[in-house]
Chains A and B, each alone.
Chain A
Amino acid sequence: MKTKSPANGMPRPDYEEPNYDELVRRVDYDFGLNRRSFVQILGAGLLIAISLPALAQESGRRTGSQGARNLAARIHLGEDGSITVLAGKVEGGQGARTELLQAAAEELGVPADLVQMILGDTSMVPDDGGTYGSGTTPRTVPVVRRAAAVARDFLVQFACAQWQVERGTVEMRDGKIFDATGKQSLTYADLAKSNDAAKLFEQAMPSDIQLAAVKDWKVLGTPVLRPNARDIVIGAHQYPSDITRPGMLYGKILRAPAYDAKLAVIDLAPAKAMKDVVVVQDDQFVGVAAPNSSIAEGALAAVSSMAKWTATPQPSSREIYDYLRQNAEGGVPPNPYADELAGAKVVRQTYNVPYIQHAPLEPRAAVAEWSDGKLTVWTGSQNPFGVRSELARAFHLSEDRVRVVIPDFGAGFGGKHTGECAMEAARLAQAADKPVSLRWTREEEFTWAYFRPAAVIEAEASLDASGKITTWHFININADASGVDTPYSVGKKNCRHVASKPALRHGSYRGLGATGNHFAREVFMDELAAAANADPLEFRLAHLENPRLQAVLEKVAKEFDWKGRVKKKDANLAAGLACGMEKGSFVAAAAEVEIDRQKNSLKVRHVCQAFECGKILNPANLLAQVQGGIIMGLGAALREEMQFEDGKILNASFRKYPVPRFSDAPELDIHLLDRPDLPSAGAGETPIMVIAPAIANAVFRATGKSVTAMPVRLA
């Protein structure tokens, strides 16, 4: 029995999707392409033979495109019974592969292990937009479900025609369709062999297909394991940096000693004289390729020793917040309610949020190969079609001559939207006439990948005599507008992002600027609560109307025993809480922090977090996202901060930039609130956002001193 899915006809989520492509300044390589590559190497054999035509997709749109114009572009049925589903999303550990697989299997009516997913290969998959902004769950899962439901409907139609029976008499069971007697059955393989299949699959997708009702789900909503998990534990899965091609060389790129330093003098002769080494220069771009990385490093050292650079003054992390404020476009906006504050209790505060790095464990990597003027690049990026555009632009190629393949890669966290490494590998491969593998070093990843933006956040609010917020002025300078608005009822409000002159190349992150905006807003709420002489929980609830946000906050308060814990008299233990909503999902957290005043150190002992993102599609994966988000957020809350001076990153290593390890993981008490009545929203970002303010608020309660910066420090 099917009913209309709650996902059908639902209003668009109540947030605006930023244009992620514009948030990061692209590395604008321009490689003239005067020469042609004549490498005769076989293309990278397709994983499946696509028998149905019309896979070429509309290109050029890189955000939010729902690319499959017909079923053939989304689902391939093999006559051997294989079922292949194609999607433009990619897997970097957040679970897209599994949930898209579940979505397809659910609607096709087959077990999950019968479906193969092909993700992120621009020569095969529809352009579903980049994998960011928590978009896979609310946007791609529904389109995959609809396509699979259409395929299933075709199978039903086919069976009914074969058996000359009515639709209501057939039943789908274990991936087969049975007639009323249960004796005759047909499968997707039979449909694939039929004469009409090709024509059916090429027509435009019907828009009014019925989806499986949540209560009937067999695959969605269950903890399906990642399909390539076994390959990962045996070391067989090939990440982008593991791709090996015949005759492949290993590349290295000459990096400037400081940001914006320009190459003034270079002598390539010593490196060129080295055996088996390819050296290429294209204006500011200088790189080498060699049969192994050590030889390439030697050649790079030879090039580097001959290079002279012209540097320009660069801001340092010591003065970064003054710098961002001074460069705010149009100046720092004043509080528009300034005239109304007379007689009211006014609280104002300024918060500083540093630049941090995503530091995915697999640094940027790409393998590039040219064949007959066509370019194939395997790389780790969240944006396969965006990288294809970058490559086409850099090499003056039409996009149909560029193929980008994204093997499941070693994480992104919003930090891999771009294709700089792909372009560099492609330029080296072009010069070498051989495939080239380029994998950035950890130092390169810390220095030349883009950063989560720093921000200065100014907050000012007024309270009436009853402790109600009456005006709210909240300005984010430099980062972005994600999470800048407040979910609280605050009377009059002015919430804005003001651009500044970025000191470092910045771009996306989990939740973009929302981590900083949530930090500032939630810490400010505790300051206001203190000014109103109110309990932080009661103060929040008194200003909240959104029932979903109330629900997570109340859940955490109950499970953490907020009321009991705040009464505890332990000078070294403190509790704090915070909540927020972003990308259609809702989160609240309470943290218990141990404070060692002698050592001036903090230790987060226990975190209770409630999270709600509509109907849960895969509880095991969701739990992993929430656990990982909390602990990753704890790193940013307590330690992570880029230090830079004279255009150099001073802590470009895991030694100097300590990310969380096992010992940092607190006791976690996580509550995933399932809402079968609501459409599913993404969960890769929102779970990270409130751990930092919860910790800061605990410190504020313990010390009475305002916490005004990330990372949180005692003094």
Chain B
Amino acid sequence: MDTKISFILNGKSRTVTTDPQRSLLEVLREDLQLTGTKFGCGEGQCRACTVLVNGESTPSCITSVGDVDKQAVTTIEGLADGVKLHPVQEAFLAEGAFQCGYCTAGMVMGMVGALNKNSKASETEVMVEMQKHICRCCSYTKYSTAINRALAHSGKGRA
């Protein structure tokens, strides 16, 4: 049964009328044309589909769109401030952290979610979160460098 679902998406309020059981990932990609969030497995195992729900990193493939009614959702497309990249995006770009890049949006959102949870998160705390993500190109070494670069940046703001 189609339902009206309203949520804040990348800072703007959006309403969709659809089956609330559909995954958030599907609605983002197919109804809202936000294809930056990727499908990888459909069961929350690879986290290519990670978005932020109220700032918290969430696998959108196993989240029903009905569950984000009246919540705030941020996707990779909503992370940069205009042309100014988020520091995590900046770090991943500067390090050329990825190979095919298909996991990158999820990785970025996963790390932003970890920093949202604790802006002073240690490397270990962040890696616990990142452990949920799969990079099949296995670019983990460069990602780790990029993660540390982003942590160093966020550390500057900690003082």
How far apart are the CA atoms of A659 and B80 in the complex, in Å? Answer: 31
State which residues 637-689 of A face B: CB under 8 Å: 653-655, 659-665, 668
Q: Is A715 an interface residue (CB 8 A)?
A: no
17 contacts between A and B (CB under 8 A): A93-B99, A229-B93, A232-B101, A233-B108, A294-B21, A359-B136, A361-B38, A361-B46, A411-B137, A442-B40, A624-B137, A628-B139, A631-B138, A660-B138, A660-B140, A661-B131, A662-B133
Is there an interface contact between B85 and A234, defined as CB atoms closer than 8 Å?
yes
Interface of B is mostly: loop
**Per-residue CB proximity of B22-66 to A under 8 Å, as 1/0?**
100010011101111111111101101000000000000000000
Q: Which of chain A's residues have a CB closer than 8 A to the CB of B48?
A: 361
Chain A count of residues within 8 A CB distance of the other chain = 59
The answer on a CB contact under 8 Å between B35 and A662 is no
Among residues of B, the one whose C-beta sits closest to the C-beta of A445 is B41
Cα–Cα, bound, A230→B29 (Å): 20
Asked whether any CB of chain B lies closer than 8 Å to the CB of A250, the reply is yes
Interface readout for B1-38 with A: 1 if CB under 8 Å, 0 if not?
00000000000000000110110001001110111111
A102 within 8 A of B: no
How far is A413 from B39 in the complex, measured between Cα atoms in Å? 19
Please pick, from A232, A442, A629, A631, the residue contacting B98 in the complex, using a CB distance under 8 A: A232
- A8 close to B (CB within 8 Å): no
Task: Decide if B35 touches A653 in the complex (CB within 8 Å).
Answer: no
Report whether A234 and B80 are in contact in the complex, using a CB–CB cutoff of 8 Å: yes
A238-B98 in contact given A233-B89, A654-B45 (Cβ < 8 Å): no
Contact A662 B143 (CB under 8 A): yes
Q: How many angstroms from the CA of A236 to the CA of B103 in the assembled complex? A: 13
Using A361-B48, A361-B102, A411-B102 as known contacts, say yes or no to A442 and B134 having CB atoms under 8 A apart: no
Residue A439 at the chain B interface, CB threshold 8 Å: yes
- The complex places the Cα of A237 from the Cα of B99 at a distance, in Å, of 13
Given contacts A225-B96, A662-B144, 12 further A-B contacts (CB under 8 A): A232-B98, A233-B92, A233-B93, A233-B104, A234-B76, A235-B37, A292-B18, A627-B138, A631-B141, A659-B136, A665-B144, A668-B141
| Interface size, B (range) | 35 or more
Residues of A within 8 A of B149 (CB): none
**CB of A635 closer than 8 Å to a CB of B:** yes
B-side residues, CB < 8 A to A, are 18-19, 21-22, 26, 29-31, 33-43, 45-46, 48, 75-77, 79-80, 85, 89, 92-93, 96, 98-105, 108, 127, 130-131, 133-144
CB atoms of A442 and B43 under 8 A apart: yes
Q: Do residues B22 and A294 form an inter-chain contact, with CB atoms below 8 A?
A: yes
Q: Which residues of the other chain, B, contact A663 by a CB distance below 8 angstroms?
A: 127, 131
Judge if A180 is at the interface, Cβ distance under 8 Å: no
The digit string for A617-632, where 1 denotes a CB below 8 A from any CB of B, is 0001100110111111
Contact of B45 among A360, A653, A664 (CB under 8 A): A653
- Interface check A410, CB cutoff 8 A: yes
**A376 lies within 8 A of chain B by Cβ:** no
A655 — nearest CB in chain B belongs to which residue? B45
The 8 closest A-B pairs by CB, nearest first: A235-B36, A93-B100, A410-B102, A235-B76, A93-B99, A631-B138, A242-B35, A232-B101
Q: Considering the chains assembled together, what is the distance between the CA atoms of A242 and B37 in angstroms? A: 9
Residues of B within 8 A of A627 (CB): 138-142
Residue A516, interface by CB 8 Å: no
Partner of A409, one of B79, B100, B108, B130: B100
Is A226 positioned at the interface, with any CB of B under 8 Å from its CB? Answer: yes
